[in-house]
Structure 1
Amino acid sequence: MSLSLAFHGAAECVTGSCALVETGEARFLVDCGLFQGSKSLKALNHDAFPFDVSSIDAVFLTHAHIDHSGLLPKLVRAGYRNPIYATRATRDLCEVMLADAAEIQEGDVAHLNRRQQRRGLDQVEPIYTVADVAPTLRLFRTVKFGERIEPLPGVAARWWPAGHLLGAASIEVVVTQADGPVRLLFSGDLGSGRQPLLPTPDGPVGVDHVILESTYGDRERQDLTAEARRDVLAEEMRQAKAAGGPLLMPTFAVGRAQDLILDLLAVMREAPELATDIFLDSPLAIEATDVFLRRGWNVEADKNPYLELRSAPRLHYLMRPQESDGLERLRDWHIILAGSGMCDAGRIRRHLKRLLWRRETTVLITGFQAAGTLGRVLLEGRRSVRIQGDDVRVNGRIRQMDAYSAHADANGLVAWLKARAPVAGKVFLVHGEPEAREGLKPRLVAAGFDERQLLTPTLDEVFALTATAASIVDASRRMVPGAAGKPDWRNSRAELLGAFNEALQGAPDDATREALIARLKEALTLPVRA
């Protein structure tokens, strides 16, 4: 098998992006990302890599988001010492993102170990620590958009603007084989092409195989201008203020936070009655903002639009935990942006824990929420959630605004792929939940692609490639096919416990409560108290 492609992440799910390419002469990864979502999926972050780390010759990185870069320090901790190729902006963002991810892991593990100790359970180790980040950064080698490099024998690569995030790229890879070259194109995460501060996604024409993200493959979004988007945001702010409490915005720290703040400030200039204090409660977002101030020059606008974030009187940066804790004293109308965007880590969980039960609270979700995450559970309408071991009643308003997504929708994905045609071989649909991938297929067929070209790999599936064909190679899998993109039994348990507690609290009397408990014990074959 001279050329193969394995999907060790972002297959059946939208996180953990990691593809392994073997050429016969070299082995390299495209991305090495953190899994997010259900606890079963996140558990893969702690497992050994499903490949021999010592055999990897290079890593090609599409962009800095943690689901694409977040396991690089783990790779280095496992012995990797070869180059990591990325654009300069991606490297600069990884410097702050990977350090933040390590600090969050250390903090979360310390919190978990206290609970484990109280329960008499074994202690756990973080996936990696802050000490692993500096050696990782030393391995980065920066590349320029459009520059062709030959990092490995028989392998050439070129980075194309993806329009998803500052520095984000699609990566074209040409592998020289005995019977001729094979051209692969990894889309990475593609932007909508409508974000005013990011370039239009681009790429080469006429490739052999395309590895295409499909996050929003089953849906189309309203095409809003920047002005219309701010109008929608203004209405959400107006309703949140009328509710009488804070507007809490779970925020992806890199890209989303900066764009949201620019629009919040613009709305406040246009509608002074909505003006209030904005608290950016995310050390990562604050440090990433510095990268945007240095690297955010927009060629089309001939300016750096992020310079406004350097000194805005209403904007407050909260770096220290005690500053974050101080927000507990605030009441009435104010705005808090905190990470993480899917509500699964970071300071957002503490704010949700203390604010969700209040009816005057508004939570505005502006990004994709993977299956099994707390953000997804809130959007699904759950009335009780479990946060850091505690049950929390959801009385606040849960709102969603999709206009800020940095991902192309179904129409954008189809348009980008059509512009790459002809595609001689296969189109691998990755980085999407099952419904999204299946929803994208008929759209691509309608656009002229052969249904037989469209493949939906499962986690850890391996394909042998020629210039025009791909055949499945048997591989051991870490999860049952179909499980990666779905909530797991832990999500079901949390839902059951929440519903049970609600039923107990809503029961008219103690006799009814005892009867409910007896029925549950009977179902579990536990002894029922006389």
Structure 2
Amino acid sequence: MNITFLGATQYVTGSCHLIQINDHKILLDCGLIQGDYEQAQKNYDDFPFNPASIDAVILSHAHLDHSGKLPLLIERGFKGEIFAHPATIDLCEVLLEDAGYLNERGAFWENKKRERQGLELVEPLYTQQQARNCLRFFKPVPYTHKTTLMSGVTLEFHDAGHILGSCIVELDLNENNHSKKVVFSGDLGHAGAPILKDPTCLTKADIVLMESTYGDRLHRNWDDTWEELGSTIRNAHSQRGNILIPAFTVGRTQELLYCFNKHYDDWQLDNWKIFLDSPMAIKSTNIYSKYSSIYEDDARKDAQNCGNPLNLPNLTMTSSTEDSMALNRIQSGAIIIAGSGMCTGGRIKHHLKHNLWRHQSHVIIVGFQARNTPGRSLVDGAEWLTLWGEKIRINAKVTTPGGLSAHADQQGLIDWYKNFKNRPQLVLVHGEPEAQKILAEKLNTDLNIKPVIAEYNQCIEL
């Protein structure tokens, strides 16, 4: 009985961990590696195991850095079941098919260049159809519903509060009368965030795998965050420019819409035309509306008493390419929410091209920006951004409200772990090296424990 760490080891994306028990193999997540071109190319590598040997996958949530290689796993031989929350399955239908589309489009344009150069053509990582085929492997598991996956393995999901349907994974393992409780945090949400409940606190485990994305920092408190966001919107209107918000299509987009609704008058949002410019975000927002029963109390009451809390009187959802292109003719008065969240693709890149060089423009960064992404360059104060080979001068004002995060901060991570009464063995995953080092030192100082910082292909016996 052991766990091998095969992704998100001293890196934020590519979540994948292998549990071996009773001659069975179970994957926790099977996510894409995201970042620059060199990092993304690693997704084409062979899996460090035979996909046909995997009996089951347990999926913590729908974000592609946790789910995005599932179609590839199936294409290469996996025939088991994928256990996930029902909302996660609905979101995966949207996210994985979109990823397949982007793969196909990327391969198409790459092959155009290769044909002219007489080079060998490339295949997409996987196609839209392969993404659709993935859906028949999913098996829904609601929160707090104990499910026996196979002999010696019992699963229970708990709300992680990160995105809709996100799960903390609790596994009871038994091999040769030797029992262990494994808890995988998945991605832990930021307590007090809109729409979703706070992460569930558990009290018992033998080993805990915990994310550490923001292990080196504290988030700004929510009141100050909303004040900065509202102030930025009000000030931007007087400067007669546009506001661009690169937002993850699942989670952050819906939080923004909910908060725009709650603060509509205070933030003077009636002065703006608001556009949700992402077909995937539009579909995801509809899924969020479907699952209001798992919202936190205030949001659930809003949905019950006042209708859809994700709707706004001046919100336009632009699905078509033509409608999206038309937004680039707007010189002022538009708030454009578009993917991708790290500005690595999607429609936001086109809007950046048309607005970054304008002094009147504003860019509000509302999510984590991985190393070597355009979004990270904006946060780090770059003077230029290269888009499609063209250097764009960054004259727009870039704002990063510190509290807008879907991940727990350092204190949130420590507080969540402190609920385990027996101080179980702790392994840090899903974080950059410096953040993990700082978090480990803080845990040692505060709780007198020495967590393991997972390394690639490291195996821990249970």
TM over 0.5: yes
1:252-401 alignment to 2 at 5 Å?
252-272=248-268, 275-297=271-293, 298=295, 300-301=297-298, 302-303=300-301, 305=303, 307-308=307-308, 312-401=312-401
Deviations 1:414-448 (A, max 9, x none): 00001023134x21111100111011012211332
1:119-518 alignment to 2 at 5 Å?
119-178=117-176, 180-225=178-223, 228-272=224-268, 275-297=271-293, 298=295, 300-301=297-298, 302-303=300-301, 305=303, 307-308=307-308, 312-424=312-424, 426-451=425-450, 454-459=451-456, 461-466=457-462
Q: 1:351 to 1:43 in 2, by over 3 A?
A: same
Contact 2:277 2:337 in 1 (8 A): yes
2:30 to 3, 12, 32: 32
Structure 1: runs of 5 or more not aligned: 467-530
2:55 to 45, 53, 57: 57
Q: 1:314 to 1:115 in 2, by over 3 A?
A: farther
- Alignment-derived partner of residue 526 in structure 1: none
> 2:113 & 2:333 partners in 1: Cα distance?
35
Moved more, 292-301 or 245-254: 292-301
Q: Any idea what SS the aligned residue of 2:96 has? A: helix
Contact 2:240 2:332 in 1 (8 A): yes
Bigger CA radius of gyration: 1
> 1:206 & 1:449 partners in 2: Cα distance?
18
Deviations 1:468-504 (A, max 9, x none): xxxxxxxxxxxxxxxxxxxxxxxxxxxxxxxxxxxxx
Contact 1:8 1:17 in 2 (8 A): yes
Q: 1:222 to 1:419 in 2, by over 3 A?
A: same
How far 1:118 moved relative to its partner?
4.0
> 1:146 & 1:266 partners in 2: Cα distance?
31
- Alignment-derived partner of residue 513 in structure 1: none
Q: Any idea what SS the aligned residue of 1:447 has? A: helix
Q: Any idea what SS the aligned residue of 1:450 has? A: coil
Q: Any idea what SS the aligned residue of 2:440 has? A: helix
Contact 2:240 2:333 in 1 (8 A): yes
Q: Any idea what SS the aligned residue of 2:98 has? A: helix
Contact 2:195 2:258 in 1 (8 A): no
Moved more, 51-60 or 177-186: 177-186
> 2:259 & 2:178 partners in 1: Cα distance?
50
Q: Any idea what SS the aligned residue of 1:350 has? A: helix
Q: Any idea what SS the aligned residue of 2:328 has? A: helix
How far 1:29 moved relative to its partner?
0.4
How far 1:267 moved relative to its partner?
3.5
> 1:303 & 1:309 partners in 2: Cα distance?
10
Deviations 1:215-258 (A, max 9, x none): 00000112224xx5432211111232233211000000111101
How far 1:189 moved relative to its partner?
0.4
> 2:85 & 2:4 partners in 1: Cα distance?
24
> 1:264 & 1:273 partners in 2: Cα distance?
8
How far 1:83 moved relative to its partner?
0.5
Structure 1 residue runs of 4 or more that deviate by more than 6 Å after TM superposition:
none
User: Which amino acid in 2 is paired with 1:436?
Assistant: A
Q: 1:145 to 1:265 in 2, by over 3 A?
A: closer
How far 1:271 moved relative to its partner?
4.3
> 1:119 & 1:241 partners in 2: Cα distance?
48
Contact 2:429 2:453 in 1 (8 A): yes
User: Which amino acid in 2 is paired with 1:396?
Assistant: A
Contact 1:20 1:28 in 2 (8 A): yes
Q: 1:112 to 1:309 in 2, by over 3 A?
A: farther
> 1:224 & 1:362 partners in 2: Cα distance?
21
How far 1:121 moved relative to its partner?
3.7
How far 1:261 moved relative to its partner?
1.8
How far 1:8 moved relative to its partner?
1.6
| RMSD over aligned Cα atoms | 1.8
User: Which amino acid in 1 is paired with 2:321?
Assistant: P
Contact 1:172 1:204 in 2 (8 A): no
How far 1:107 moved relative to its partner?
2.0
> 1:155 & 1:304 partners in 2: Cα distance?
39
Q: Any idea what SS the aligned residue of 2:47 has? A: coil
User: Which amino acid in 2 is paired with 1:416?
Assistant: W
- Alignment-derived partner of residue 97 in structure 2: 99
Contact 1:25 1:153 in 2 (8 A): no
How far 1:203 moved relative to its partner?
4.2
How far 1:388 moved relative to its partner?
2.4
Query: How many residues align structurally?
Result: 458
1:38-49 alignment to 2 at 5 Å?
38-49=36-47
Identity %: 36
Contact 1:164 1:407 in 2 (8 A): yes
Moved more, 100-109 or 6-15: 100-109
> 1:75 & 1:307 partners in 2: Cα distance?
40
> 1:272 & 1:162 partners in 2: Cα distance?
33
Q: 1:75 to 1:273 in 2, by over 3 A?
A: closer
> 1:330 & 1:172 partners in 2: Cα distance?
49
> 2:310 & 2:416 partners in 1: Cα distance?
35
